[in-house]
Structure 1
Amino acid sequence: MKKIIAAVFLAGLTVQVSAQSGTNSPYSQYGLGALASQATGFNRGMNGLAYGFHEHNQVNYMNPASYASVDSLSFIFDAGVSLQLTNFDENGNKVNAHNADIEYVAASFRVFKHVGVSFGILPYSNVGYNFSNTQNVNAFPSTSSPNATYSNIYSGNGGLHMVYLGAGWEPFKGIAFGANISYLWGTLNRSSTNTYSDSYVNTLSKNYTAQVKSYKVDLGAQFTCPINKKNELTLGLAYSLGHNLGAEPECSIISTNSQTSVSDTTRYVVSKAFEIPQTFGVGLMWNHNNRLKFGVDYQMQKWVKIQYPQLITINGKTSYSLVDGQFTDRHKLTVGGDYCKGERYRGFFSRMHYRGGVSYATPYLRINGQEGPRELSASFGVGIPIINGYNNRSMLNISAEWVNQKAVGLIKENTFRINVGLTFNERWFAKFKVE
Structure 2
Amino acid sequence: MNKITLFTTFAGIALSVNCTLAQSEGLTSSPYSLYGLGVINQTSIGRSNGMGYTGIGLKTETEINNLNPSNYALTPKNSFFYDVGVRGQYDYISNEVSDDGKTTLNFSNLAFAFRITDGLGAGITMVPYSDVGYSLVGLQTNIEGSSETFESSVTGLGGLSDLRLNLGYSIIEKLRLGVSTSFLFGNIEENEAFIINNSAFQLTETTNYSGIRLGLGIQYDITDKFTLGGTVQFPTSLNGNLKRSVLKTLDASEITVEDEEPDTAADFKMPLELGLGVSGTIFNSFTLSADYKKNYWSNTGQQENIGEYADQDIYAFGLEYAKNTSSYKYVERIRFRAGFNYDNGYLAINDTKIDGYSITGGIGLPIGRDNNSILNLSYGYGSKGQIQNILVKENYHILTLNMSLEDLWFRKRKIN
In the alignment, does 2:183 pair up with 1:183? yes
Aligned partner of 1:336 in structure 2 is: 318
Aligned equivalents of 1:335 and 1:159: distance in 2? Answer: 27
| 1:285–1:296 CA contact under 8 A, matched in 2 | yes
1:221 to 218, 223, 226: 218
- 1:373 paired residue among 342, 354, 358: 354
Residue 281 of structure 2 aligns to a residue whose secondary structure is: strand
Deviations 1:204-235 (A, max 9, x none): 65543221222121210011111xxxx63211
Q: Equivalent residues in 2 for 1:76-87 (5 A)?
A: 76-87=81-92
Alpha-carbon deviation of 1:6? 6.2
2:382 pairs, out of 394, 403, 407, with: 403
Change (3 A) 1:4 1:109: closer
Instruction: Please tell me the residue identity of whatever aligns with 1:362.
Output: N
Tell me by how many angstroms 1:46 deviates: 0.5
2:365 equivalent in structure 1: 384
Query: What is the DSSP-based 3-state SS (H/G/I as helix, E as strand, rest coil) of the residue aligned with 2:71?
Result: helix
Q: Which amino acid aligns with 1:283?
A: G
Query: Does the 8 A contact of 1:31 with 1:308 survive in 2?
Result: no
Q: Which sits farther off after the overlay, 130-139 or 411-420? A: 130-139
Provide the secondary structure at the position in 2 that maps to 1:345: coil
Q: Does 1:31 align with 2:24?
A: no
Give the aligned partner of residue 241 of structure 1. 234
Output the CA distance in 1 between the equivalents of 2:227 and 2:336: 20
- Letter in structure 1 aligned against 2:347: L
Residue matched to 1:274: 268
1:5/1:405 Cα in 2 relative to 1: closer, same or farther (>3 Å)?
farther
CA distance in 1, matches of 2:402, 2:324: 21
The residue that corresponds to 1:318 in the other structure is: none
Question: What is the distance in 2 between the residues matched to 1:77 and 1:108?
Answer: 6
- Residue 48 of structure 2, aligned match among 43, 47, 63: 43
Distance in structure 2 (CA, Å) of the matches to 1:63 and 1:290: 23
Q: 1:5 to 1:172 in 2, by over 3 A?
A: closer
Please give the residue correspondences for 1:52-201 in structure 2 after superposition, counting only pairs within 5 Å.
52-133=57-138, 141=146, 150-196=150-196, 198-199=197-198
* TM-aligned CA deviation for residue 59 of structure 1: 0.7
Q: Name the SS of the counterpart of 2:299 in structure 1.
A: coil
C-alpha displacement at 1:253, in angstroms? 7.0
Quote the offset at 1:433 in angstroms. 5.4
Q: Residue type matched to 1:335 in 2? A: F
Aligned mate of 1:211, from 201, 208, 229: 208
Give the CA deviation at 1:370. Answer: 3.8
Match of 2:397 in 1: 416
Change over 3 Å in CA distance of 1:235–1:362 after alignment to 2: same
**Matched residues in 2 for 1:278 and 1:138: separation?**
44
Alpha-carbon distance between aligned partners in 1 of 2:142 and 2:86, rounded to the nearest angstrom: 45
TM-score scaled to structure 1, two decimals?
0.84
1:301 pairs, out of 282, 292, 295, with 295
Deviations 1:373-422 (A, max 9, x none): 2111010001100127xx54310000011111113331211111110001
**Which letter does structure 1 place at the counterpart of 2:397?**
F
Contact (CA 8 Å) 2:66, 2:125: kept in 1 or not?
no
The structure-2 alpha-carbon separation of the partners of 1:114 and 1:55, relative to structure 1 and needing over 3 Å to count, comes to same
The size of the alignment, in residue pairs, is 408
1:286 maps to a residue whose letter is G
Kept in 2, the 8 Å contact 1:37–1:123? The answer is no
- Aligned residue for 1:381, secondary structure, equals strand
Q: Which residue of 1 aligns with 2:339?
A: 357
Superposition deviation, residue 366 in structure 1 = 3.5
Tell me how far apart the structure 2 counterparts of residues 334 and 106 of structure 1 sit (CA, whole Å).
23
| Matched letter for residue 310 of structure 2 | T
Given that 1:5 and 1:77 are in contact with CA atoms closer than 8 Å, whether structure 2 keeps it comes out as no
Percent identical among aligned pairs is: 24
Structure 1 pair 310–338 and aligned structure 2 pair: CA distance change class (3 A): closer
Aligned counterparts of 1:370 and 1:256: Cα–Cα separation in 2: 41
1:139 to partner: Cα distance: 10
Judge which range, 175-184 or 126-135, deviates more.
126-135
Q: Which structure is larger by alpha-carbon Rg, 1 or 2?
A: 1
Segments of 5+ residues of structure 2 without an aligned counterpart are: none
Distance 1:26 1:188, change over 3 A: same
Does the aligned pair in 2 maintain the 1:245–1:272 contact within 8 Å?
Answer: no
Q: Residue type matched to 1:162 in 2?
A: D
1:285 to 271, 276, 279: 279
Q: Among 19, 29, 39, which residue is 1:17 paired with?
A: 19
TM-score in terms of structure 2 length? 0.88
Contact 1:304–1:325 (8 Å) recurs in 2: no
Q: Please list the CA deviations of residues 169-216 of structure 1 after superposition, one character each: whole Å capped at 9, or x if unmatched.
A: 1111211100111222111212333443x45xx756554322122212
399, 409, 413: which one pairs with 1:428?
409
Please give the alpha-carbon distance, in whole angstroms, between the structure 2 residues aligned to 1:111 and 1:8: 17
Q: 2:281 & 2:383 partners in 1: Cα distance?
A: 30
Cα distance in 2 for residues equivalent to 1:154 and 1:372: 24
